[in-house]
């Protein structure tokens, strides 16, 4: 990485909203999302036939996206099978374990493009094509990218050490931080908690559910690490079970926040 991201820790606990905005819109994955979305909307214009299928494709993507996120977050990212294979351990570590180990590390908060883009494509392209042909598929894919960007930014805001200004952001931050610091077996949504409510994993307040013993290691306990050591080795044997891993209190020489 270069520019604003070079030699920086990007600790959300020590960043301002202005720092976050600057970091967000200079992060390579975010720039990649924006570029891909622009290409998608260019193809929408090129293949345009009528507006109604495009509107329906966008709305359908917005309806399906929270359900897909819930399924992936609950049963894949919080599942216990990816870390059991040396073939998938590094992926699981990168896309979720590291985030729960250090919730303030902005670098591991963002999804990895090699996992997010195929998922967005698999979900949105068939829906869009069924609704509106090539233009509909391009619109649905572009909508998936835009929604992903919105999710990513809201996720960053949920971990930023500032008080949100809007009622919506205050609420989703409270719910998401409970997922990270109280009980990880609930509140799987990021901006939409409908599916948590439908599947019984929603809790409005921490006092409504017991404190989880695996809230920071998300099930990759010392016992599991002994049986399936690959994530532990990749983590240099520094798993945090009782507390999330913390940033260094001071940046290393040559680094800034």
Tokens of 93: 């570590």
Please check the confidence at residue 5 and state whether its pLDDT lies above 70.
no
Q: Count Cβ atoms within 10 A of the Cβ of residue 222 and give its class: 0-12 exposed, 13-18 middle, 19 or more buried.
A: exposed
Q: Give the pTM.
A: 0.89
Q: Does 138 have pLDDT greater than 60?
A: yes
Residue 206's Cβ-count burial label (10 Å; 0-12, 13-18, 19+) is: middle
Q: Are 228 and 79 in contact (CB under 8 A)?
A: no
Residues 150-200 have pLDDT tens digits of 999 999 999 998 889 999 999 999 999 999 999 999 999 999 999 999 999
pLDDT of residue 107: 85
Structure tokens at 176: 């998401």
Q: Report in angstroms the alpha-carbon separations of 90 from 47, 55, 95.
A: 40, 39, 9
Q: What are phi and psi of 163, to 5 degrees?
A: -85, 125
Mean pLDDT over all residues of the chain? 90
């Amino acid at each position: 990485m270069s520019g604003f991201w070079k030699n920086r820790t990007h600790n959300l606990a020590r960043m301002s909203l202005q720092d976050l905005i600057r970091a967000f819109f200079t992060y390579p994955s975010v720039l990649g999302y924006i570029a891909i979305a622009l290409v998608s909307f260019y193809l929408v214009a090129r293949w345009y036939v009528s507006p109604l299928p495009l509107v329906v494709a966008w709305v359908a993507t917005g309806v399906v996206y929270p359900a897909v996120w819930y399924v992936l977050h609950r049963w894949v990212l919080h599942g216990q099978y990816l870390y059991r294979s040396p073939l998938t351990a590094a992926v699981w570590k990168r896309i979720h374990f590291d985030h729960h180990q250090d919730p303030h590390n902005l670098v591991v908060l963002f999804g990895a493009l090699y996992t997010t883009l195929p998922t967005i494509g698999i979900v949105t392209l068939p829906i869009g094509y069924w609704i509106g042909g090539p233009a509909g598929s391009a619109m649905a894919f572009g909508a998936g990218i835009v929604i992903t960007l919105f999710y990513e930014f809201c996720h960053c805001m949920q971990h930023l050490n500032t008080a949100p200004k809007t009622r919506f952001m205050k609420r989703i931050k409270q719910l998401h931080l409970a997922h990270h610091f109280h009980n990880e077996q609930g509140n799987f949504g990021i901006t939409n908690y409908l599916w948590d409510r439908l599947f019984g994993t929603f809790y409005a307040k921490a006092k409504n559910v017991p404190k989880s013993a695996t809230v920071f290691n998300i099930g990759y306990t010392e016992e599991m690490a002994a049986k399936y050591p690959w994530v532990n080795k990749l983590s240099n044997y520094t798993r945090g079970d009782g507390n999330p891993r913390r940033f260094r209190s001071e940046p290393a020489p040559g680094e800034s926040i």
